[in-house]
Structure 1
Amino acid sequence: MLLFLTDNVKAETLLFTSLIVLSCTGTPSVAETALRFTDQTQQAGIHFKHTNGASEEKYLPETMGAGGLFFDYNNDGHLDIYLVNSGTLSPASEFHRHPNDMNVLYRNKGDGRFIDATVEAGLQQNHGYGMGCLAADYDNDGDADLYLTNFGRNQLYRNNGDGTFTDVTSHAGVGDGKWSVSASFGDFNLDGHLDLYVANYLDYQLETAHACFLEGVHIYCGPHEYPGARDTLYRNNGDGTFTDVTTRAGVRNAGKGLGVLFTDYNNDGYPDIFVANDAVPDFLYQNNKDGTFTDVATPAGVAYNSEGRATASMGIAAGDYDNDGVQDLFVTNFSLEINSLFHNDNDGFYTMTTFEAGLADASFSKLGFGTQFIDADNNGSLELFVANGHVWDNVSEVTPSLSYRQQCQIFGNTGTGQFTDLFETAGRFFKRSVVARGVAIGDYNNDGAADILVTCCGEPPILLRNDSQVHNYVKIRLVGTESNRDSIGAKVWIRTDEMTLFREVTCGGSYASGSERTLLFGIGAQKTIQSIEVKWQSGHTQTLDFSNTEGPVNETIYITENQSSVLQKD
């Protein structure tokens, strides 16, 4: 059955207007941009400050955290927020967090405000120095479970379905124990159970950490000072436990992973794995369809930048920015490098198009972390958000032209393969400098416009409400039956009279953070859609034909795998 939930369309009067022009090919282009975001952190009741424990010793983990998450943990239809904290590091004693340094779960009250629900949800015990978080229904019971990455042992919390969680890390066997930053869920063997890939960073021990200096200035060490840590691939056994299949699957390369995402880059129906590595070549593990992978990053064109150099890759965004029906990749890098936009040529190869897309100069002085594609105005073209902040708190002493706190960026999509920096008009936040790390995208107030959560190192997060003049949309939530219940890996096409839009359901990417998995399709001025097509990981394809009806515009649709297309509106 398909359940239609009607969302309230935004009725606010906005300051900016927009003109959307449809070319003869049906590709939307932005003639005049109307993006606007407003910081609602305090008004929404988010009273949180990340503690990194910055010390004179400059332990490297202090400058690398932390992430955040949009997810609906209690299935009430409103996105909740989870924020990761870190604490203080000391080699002299076993790590313990102060009670004020715990991670926080904020429950959405449904009126634009949040309330701290950490204790009532049973999430007050955090055992490591926090890095990232991710949510997915690993046990297919209908609610979102929570995975935390740490400098130290990771944690898996099973959602009990009653608003509480239980720590099942030991039983599930996914504690890892390395320095983990990001993770991604995906069903690599198509058995209907979500597997887990954990990106691990460096083999770093506080007891043996050493000081680093550049031009006489004591700085946080770079990744070249320490060996990389091997990532971990866990296969879901379907009984609440996981098995480490890293060696068996052929993903034993010792990189220096910071970002990771399951995504089907070659459209063969099997999820592949892209890993963003810091200062060593990135990985693109192609799924061999037999439980093993082969790293094809170099021949595919994503291991290095266009100059043949490994970059300090941090975060990952995946999306079809030029509406040609395949997922492209965007990777954030270190300052005095440029970020990498990899166009998927749909033949197993990528082309780096950062310069052609107008993204090179804007990123040269920035140090990027989290990033996501977002259709901020629902015109059918994906904009690009980048969170920036340096890792050296004294970088200006080394390079006066650089700063520790930096401005985040949002780039408008022209619809011609190019982007434009919108910092002058997108809102006050984009003129403010922060030490940003994670990025999550989600419509927390259910108004049909995608909002943004930005997490920071040693600073409060920022909740950006999308106040843009948005156009029509269709939101789609998939429920798998043969496929994993979260439908991660499923592909969806929406067709209107003027455009065809493509999305893939993913879980991970960005940096140490997780976004809403309900798919938001902006369809511009279109008031009807022709069809929705879903290709499930099970191999089934469902097509909903709306050619003789108005179709579900400005509504949220639930599509259940293999069930008849009976429509019911609430």
Structure 2
Amino acid sequence: MALALLAGCSEPEAPAAGPPLFAPVPPDSSGVTFANVLDEDSTFNIINYLYFYDGGGVAVGDVNGDGLVDLYFTANRRPNRLYLNRGGFTFEDVTEAAGVAGRGTWTKAATMADVNGDGWLDLYVSNVEHGPMHGRNELFLNRGPGDDGLPRFEERAADYGLDVAGLNTQAVFFDYDRDGDLDVYLVRHSVHDVGQIGGVEFRAKHHEAAGDLLLRNDDGRFVDVTEAAGIYSSVLGYGLAAAASDLNRDGCPDLYVSNDFHENDYLYLNNCDGTFRETIYTATGHTSLASMGSDAADINNDLRPDVIVTDMLPFREDIRRTAVSEEGYDVYRIKLNRGYHHQFTRNTLLINLGQGHFIDLAFYAGVAATDWSWAALLADLDLDAYNDLFVTNGVYRRPNDLDYLRFVVQPQVQAALRNEVIPPAVLDSVLAWMPSVPLPNAAFHNRGDLTFAERAAAWGLGTPGFSNGAAYADLDNDGDLDLVVNNLNAPATIYRNRAREHTGRHYLTVVLEGEPPNRFGIGAKVIVRHGGTAQLREQFPTRGWASSVDPRLHVGLGDDATVDTLTVVWPDGRFQTLTGLAADRTLTLRQADASDAYPYPPQAPTNPLFADVTDEVALDFVHHENAFIDFTREPLMP
């Protein structure tokens, strides 16, 4: 066990010569002074809302058509902010003129998507409606720049059927039925007592506020097709994130949904007929336990999307020894007996083996332990043609600390906490017992052999703090991906990437012009071949934690100055291939230029090596496990 835990902590590489890859841009220089300052009081705090310290998100994209990526930050209890990119890493706050501050009293996430198909990126904001939190989801339609050049937005969620109330976490826009317009999957969390482990039969019971929703776009009006499409929408689901990707390479977008606590993660494979089948039991041997942020991208350049999910396994030994993390074996067995999948406290890196099967290599890869982590973003940060990993980190107060738990279970404390308004002195004592430990974000360099090297400090990303939502984008159009991070109780951070000037490596930026109404080509995939390497990019901007990334696709090319072939497969299955492309530029691809149907690989082997002959040999044997639990007598048994 000790060896396994050590293996989950990647060894840092020797520091690279020269300055770090990233440099923070100070707020007084960038003009981005946004900070998600969290006000906690005796009526609303971590005691009566478990996700109080989950932070906000960031959505990025060009909202005014000037070719520069703009920034939108969500604040939990304060107004959201929109910043226009004025070039040179300077930004202007245009929130009031644009009309996008929002009305929610608790805001979680934001997504940029062209919801009405007019070619302008709109803003969809996820708000929570529960207890003291009031606010339905908001849709800010982008009406384009006014006479002053500033973008104007109009809130129209009710008109589109998107003013959803409940425990909303995030929204994923994608065309699941491939009819040409954008549908949306709404991730939502629950509020039931996590100390009670209900059976999996509760998955069949819809919950109005907590259950995830799938809304189909019917001529501009979003209608609920959750049950008809085979999507779970129950009180069991503690949905915190969802990643869209064509995981089985059949041309239809699938979903990986991260669920906190004892409910399984969901892996929905698209049946390509308007329905999904949930496959987590057969897709992988286990998942993370407290699944949080996620991303889907190809890390080993085999053209299959892999999946990363964050959890809460500490990398520091002192925190690991003073906090509750893994469940006891008895609880684990109870969950299995009640129908749940195998779940363990660790990040999971699910390598796609094809045919709907995955294997977790997080410990082998060195990315299993990053502590209380939120966003996971897979992107080529150093332009070497392999996707690296960036993870945001830190919880403002740690409610799983052993000393805090020993204090809070005292009868007199429990009695005080049951009050609708917690006495201020009691709340102060409770919060004082929760440690507040700033932690650095994690950044892992992909070595290209299914292992990663921890590079946060060497890359200039190792400043301790409490970070939540994050997004990547080329903010200065120089060919490398910069990072934008939403921090809790601290100013947001913008990291300038200097990979181009430090390494001289090459890149290609791809802009997709889809046919209306899916003008940004959501669901398209780009396959780039260069110098014996093949890379895959998929156009699904919602990624990580409560955030969405730049809809322009970015490909690092290493030392190759030429792309041998580039194939774009559009959401409707048509494709086009270009050859002999020069690197270090922005390439615009148009769906109107595509023609033939892309030849997807068969979903089942045409000539399998093995055949199931069990019925032919009349084998009548079922193994029954001995009920004796060895761990009860020998808890340290390996």
Query: Of residues 121, 131, 135 in structure 1, which corresponds to 2:108?
Result: 131
Q: Which whole-Å CA distance do the structure 1 matches of 2:162 and 2:271 have between them? A: 24
Q: Alpha carbons of 1:122 and 1:224: their partners in 2 closer, same or farther (altered >3 Å)?
A: farther
SS of alignment partner, residue 424 of structure 1: coil
SS of alignment partner, residue 112 of structure 1: coil
Q: Which whole-Å CA distance do the structure 1 matches of 2:244 and 2:399 have between them? A: 36
Matches within 5 A, 1:532-547: 532-546=566-580
**What does residue 443 of structure 1 align with?**
474
Query: Of residues 476, 481, 485 in structure 1, which corresponds to 2:515?
Result: 481
1:460 aligns with 2:468: no
Instruction: Check whether the contact 2:54–2:395 (CA below 8 A) recurs between aligned residues.
Output: no
**What does residue 14 of structure 1 align with?**
none
**What does residue 381 of structure 2 align with?**
376
1:141 aligns with 2:118: yes
Instruction: Check whether the contact 1:190–1:483 (CA below 8 A) recurs between aligned residues.
Output: no
1:317 aligns with 2:295: yes
**What does residue 64 of structure 2 align with?**
74
Q: CA deviation at 1:84?
A: 0.3
Instruction: Check whether the contact 1:395–1:402 (CA below 8 A) recurs between aligned residues.
Output: no
Matches within 5 A, 1:158-237: 158-162=141-145, 163-203=151-191, 229-237=210-218
Query: Of residues 250, 254, 261 in structure 1, which corresponds to 2:243?
Result: 261
Query: Of residues 522, 527, 544 in structure 2, which corresponds to 1:510?
Result: 544
**What does residue 411 of structure 1 align with?**
444
Query: Of residues 532, 541, 558 in structure 2, which corresponds to 1:524?
Result: 558
Q: CA deviation at 1:330?
A: 0.2
One-letter amino acid of the structure 1 residue matched with residue 64 of structure 2: N
Q: CA deviation at 1:224?
A: 6.4
Instruction: With a CA cutoff of 8 Å and minimum separation of 6, indicate the structure with the bigger relative contact order.
Output: 1
Q: Which whole-Å CA distance do the structure 1 matches of 2:196 and 2:304 have between them? A: 34
1:557 aligns with 2:565: no
* Structure 1: unaligned runs, 5 residues or longer: 1-29, 88-100, 205-220, 566-570
Instruction: Check whether the contact 1:410–1:422 (CA below 8 A) recurs between aligned residues.
Output: yes
After superposition, the CA RMSD in angstroms is 2.4
Instruction: Check whether the contact 1:65–1:130 (CA below 8 A) recurs between aligned residues.
Output: no
Query: Of residues 90, 94, 97 in structure 2, which corresponds to 1:120?
Result: 97
CA offsets, 1:491-547, max 9 Å, x none? Answer: 11111233111111112121101111211111111111111101111111101122x
One-letter amino acid of the structure 2 residue matched with residue 375 of structure 1: D
Q: CA deviation at 1:245?
A: 1.1
Q: Alpha carbons of 1:564 and 1:505: their partners in 2 closer, same or farther (altered >3 Å)?
A: closer
Q: CA deviation at 1:136?
A: 0.7
SS of alignment partner, residue 181 of structure 1: strand
Q: Which whole-Å CA distance do the structure 2 matches of 1:135 and 1:45 have between them? A: 22
**What does residue 25 of structure 2 align with?**
40
CA offsets, 1:276-306, max 9 Å, x none? Answer: 000121001111122111111111117x33x
| Count of residue pairs brought into register by the alignment | 492
Q: CA deviation at 1:341?
A: 0.4
Q: Alpha carbons of 1:224 and 1:536: their partners in 2 closer, same or farther (altered >3 Å)?
A: farther
**What does residue 354 of structure 1 align with?**
362
Q: Which whole-Å CA distance do the structure 1 matches of 2:543 and 2:121 have between them? A: 17
Q: CA deviation at 1:401?
A: 12
Q: Alpha carbons of 1:242 and 1:401: their partners in 2 closer, same or farther (altered >3 Å)?
A: closer
**What does residue 320 of structure 2 align with?**
none
Q: Which whole-Å CA distance do the structure 1 matches of 2:448 and 2:522 have between them? A: 27
One-letter amino acid of the structure 2 residue matched with residue 257 of structure 1: G
**What does residue 600 of structure 2 align with?**
none
Q: CA deviation at 1:222?
A: 6.3
1:102 aligns with 2:132: no
Q: CA deviation at 1:198?
A: 0.8
CA offsets, 1:174-194, max 9 Å, x none? Answer: 121111111111100001101
Larger relative helix fraction: 2
**What does residue 598 of structure 2 align with?**
none
Q: CA deviation at 1:64?
A: 1.9
Give every structure 1 segment of 4 or more consecutive aligned residues whose post-TM-superposition deviation is greater than 6 Å.
Answer: 221-228, 399-402
**What does residue 306 of structure 2 align with?**
328
Q: Which whole-Å CA distance do the structure 2 matches of 1:359 and 1:125 have between them? A: 36
SS of alignment partner, residue 445 of structure 1: coil
Instruction: Check whether the contact 2:396–2:488 (CA below 8 A) recurs between aligned residues.
Output: no
Query: Of residues 250, 259, 276 in structure 1, which corresponds to 2:258?
Result: 276
Instruction: Check whether the contact 1:69–1:514 (CA below 8 A) recurs between aligned residues.
Output: yes
SS of alignment partner, residue 171 of structure 2: strand
Q: Which whole-Å CA distance do the structure 2 matches of 1:194 and 1:268 have between them? A: 19
Q: Alpha carbons of 1:225 and 1:145: their partners in 2 closer, same or farther (altered >3 Å)?
A: farther
Q: Which whole-Å CA distance do the structure 1 matches of 2:233 and 2:104 have between them? A: 28
SS of alignment partner, residue 64 of structure 1: coil
Q: TM-score with structure 1 length normalisation? A: 0.82
1:392 aligns with 2:369: no
One-letter amino acid of the structure 2 residue matched with residue 289 of structure 1: C
Q: CA deviation at 1:343?
A: 0.2
Q: CA deviation at 1:425?
A: 1.1
Q: Which whole-Å CA distance do the structure 1 matches of 2:101 and 2:578 have between them? A: 44
Instruction: Check whether the contact 1:233–1:244 (CA below 8 A) recurs between aligned residues.
Output: yes
Q: Which whole-Å CA distance do the structure 2 matches of 1:62 and 1:564 have between them? A: 47
Q: Alpha carbons of 1:146 and 1:282: their partners in 2 closer, same or farther (altered >3 Å)?
A: same
Instruction: Check whether the contact 1:176–1:232 (CA below 8 A) recurs between aligned residues.
Output: no
One-letter amino acid of the structure 2 residue matched with residue 466 of structure 1: N
Which sits farther off after the overlay, 121-130 or 322-331?
Answer: 121-130
Instruction: Check whether the contact 2:255–2:269 (CA below 8 A) recurs between aligned residues.
Output: yes
1:242 aligns with 2:222: yes
Instruction: Check whether the contact 1:270–1:287 (CA below 8 A) recurs between aligned residues.
Output: yes
Instruction: Check whether the contact 2:72–2:80 (CA below 8 A) recurs between aligned residues.
Output: yes
1:157 aligns with 2:162: no
Which sits farther off after the overlay, 275-284 or 30-39?
Answer: 30-39
Which sits farther off after the overlay, 127-136 or 190-199?
Answer: 127-136
Instruction: Check whether the contact 1:142–1:485 (CA below 8 A) recurs between aligned residues.
Output: yes
Which sits farther off after the overlay, 520-529 or 386-395?
Answer: 386-395
Q: Which whole-Å CA distance do the structure 1 matches of 2:434 and 2:162 have between them? A: 43
Q: Alpha carbons of 1:84 and 1:190: their partners in 2 closer, same or farther (altered >3 Å)?
A: same
One-letter amino acid of the structure 2 residue matched with residue 421 of structure 1: E
Instruction: Check whether the contact 1:70–1:80 (CA below 8 A) recurs between aligned residues.
Output: yes
Q: CA deviation at 1:334?
A: 2.0
Q: TM-score with structure 2 length normalisation? A: 0.73
One-letter amino acid of the structure 1 residue matched with residue 223 of structure 2: T
Q: Alpha carbons of 1:223 and 1:453: their partners in 2 closer, same or farther (altered >3 Å)?
A: farther
Which sits farther off after the overlay, 342-351 or 228-237?
Answer: 228-237
CA offsets, 1:226-262, max 9 Å, x none? Answer: 9981001111113x32111112212134211000122
Matches within 5 A, 1:492-503: 492-503=526-537
Matches within 5 A, 1:57-72: 57-58=45-46, 59-60=48-49, 61-72=51-62
Instruction: Check whether the contact 1:186–1:507 (CA below 8 A) recurs between aligned residues.
Output: no
Q: Which whole-Å CA distance do the structure 2 matches of 1:225 and 1:146 have between them? A: 37
CA offsets, 1:425-479, max 9 Å, x none? Answer: 111x41x221111111111111111011111233321111112324100100111
